[in-house]
Structure 1
């Protein structure tokens, strides 16, 4: 993909949301104001005592999501960053921010916000490396009234003097004599479950003997592909190569009664729920790797 094609794809994200209906994790409060003023060495009396206001430059502090992030983060922003990663712009640095203040914030105010991808620059060459500047605009409101705007700009770039690394491949499954038949089925886009020849108990993952009666003989049945989320976790940290947190990993109970651990795909991680109906999909990640994953059934989200 040449620079013009890449920039055209990046420009398509301008105007799309990066966060929708976000809410500050805490109301504006005096202890945080005090900590901020102590760290900045700001002794302005407007920030203490009855009728105190928050320092205007704290605007971003009230909307930060911390390590766990905010509810309402939109998929478009993650897609944009992934597109830049795939183009070799794997490094990021914050470059600047701009703020506009319409009225002071006071202790007790509860802030809400929406963030939009405002602009993506053409390819720029800097001392750090070549890449694209991405600017987001966040409108901050209290009780529906706009109180301030925060523009934040980052540079996603390929480090100078370094050959861009290809995107990391997903780890390969460990295939052995006990589970080779399962992975052969996956290559044929069939999800095969072992069935004990002695007691008909279904089992997954594959084992050399029946976990119910101990019988060594078995055959297979093919799963129909429907199931529900029995349990799930959301992976945030640490980030593994080829994975982009946060993402949901589900314990899926198939209609046949066995359970399998797999990715829950094409649905926002914070929309995954216990009991959510899902269906099997075989997804190809590269020339060598196809994996069974599960997506929400139509109408389930």
Structure 2
């Protein structure tokens, strides 16, 4: 198979400004030659060009690595790797990826590349294991439509090792018991300290504006209604109704129960607060508007939080 040349793999899109701009944003490249058309017009190129390092990205396959652009070859340039895998060399690690560029690529060009299986080494043993170094060479072209020959614009040498992992002696370390997970503690600031400290006193404290006599939640440094800084709190009754809810089944997050019902409670006082729900029967969904009553539960011997118990619908 060495020396075999594989057919063309085309780019899905012509070289275009949108993909160049997005690539530059992600890579942190700020060269105006790539994104500022007015600046590029003053340079020797006279127009926007694509960053050379984008060469490989233009011809990448679609999501899943096997969705090639129309017109591309159906041959698999990496077929030799599949053969090695079937013969007992399952692992692969990239070793080299060297790009060379013949010139800048301009907007509107349509690219493709061809691949040659350049070499396969003798079997070698490395720290990773025993296997073969496989080297492929890709040559990139700009396709011409005016009868001219397609123009070579760059090359890439790509090398991997396809290997049988080395056997490492088993280490029998004593099993460590995983520490028990605790409930995460809330972020407490001067603006919300009264709210969290209230639970230790079995109080549901809701922020109150002295100036306009309105309540708000969550706590904030300023009244959301009148922008006053004159704030205190009032103790709510702890009664309300279920405004909305979600029951978390997955992922399982310690130390929370699974399933984990969370409700958005509309208090009698008119504000809403999210909290855990208790009294939810397995397989029976809570009902919107169902009455609830606050209870205070202490976790890990130090963290007291409010949870709301559903009042059975026949009593609500």
Task: Tell me which interval the TM-score lies in, with the shorter structure as reference length.
Answer: 0.3 to 0.5
Structure 1 length as normaliser, TM-score? 0.46
Q: Which has the larger radius of gyration?
A: 2
Structure 2 length as normaliser, TM-score? 0.44
Specify which structure has the higher proportion of helix. Answer: 1
